[in-house]
Structure 1
Amino acid sequence: MKVVILAAEEQEAGRPKALIRLCGIPLARRLLHTLRAADLRDVIVVTGPDGRAVREALGDGADLGMRL
C-alpha cells in the first residue's frame, strides 16, 4: 500500500508546516516513524513549488527502510 503525505502548506515565515518541530523532530518525520511502525513503507510526499526544505529534511527514506 502507498501513502500520500500532503506537505505543501507553508507558514507565514515561508517555512513548510510539515517541518514544525515537536520535541526537536519535524512533524513529517514523526509521521514517517508512525507509518514505518504500521509497516507502510512506500510514501509519496507532495510539496509546494519550493519543496527543497522538505526533501532535505526527509531525505529518501532509506534510513528508515522506506521509499519516498
Structure 2
Amino acid sequence: MGLSIWHILLFAVIVILLFGTSKLKNLGKDLGGAIKDFKDSVNSDDQKLLQNQQYKDIIPVESHNEKQNKI
C-alpha cells in the first residue's frame, strides 16, 4: 500500500503536537548549523590541499647572480 500524502501529513501533525513548533525550530537550526560547519570544514581541507599542491609545483629558479657566484 505504501505511504500516501495523507499518511505523511498525519505523521507531521502528530510530531508537531508532540514536540511543539519551538523545539522543531531549534532542531532545524541546530541541524542546519551542523551541516554548514561540515561543509566549511570540507571546503577548508580542499583549499589547504590545493595550496599545498600549488607550492609543490613551484620550482625554485637560480638568478643570474647566483649562477655567476657558483662559477
What TM-score do you get using the length of structure 2 for normalisation?
A: 0.25
Greater Cα radius of gyration, structure 1 or 2: 2
Q: Give the number of the structure with larger relative contact order, counting CA–CA contacts within 8 Å between residues 6 or more apart.
A: 1
Higher helix share: 2
Larger strand share, 1 or 2: 1
Q: Output the TM-score relative to the length of structure 1.
A: 0.25
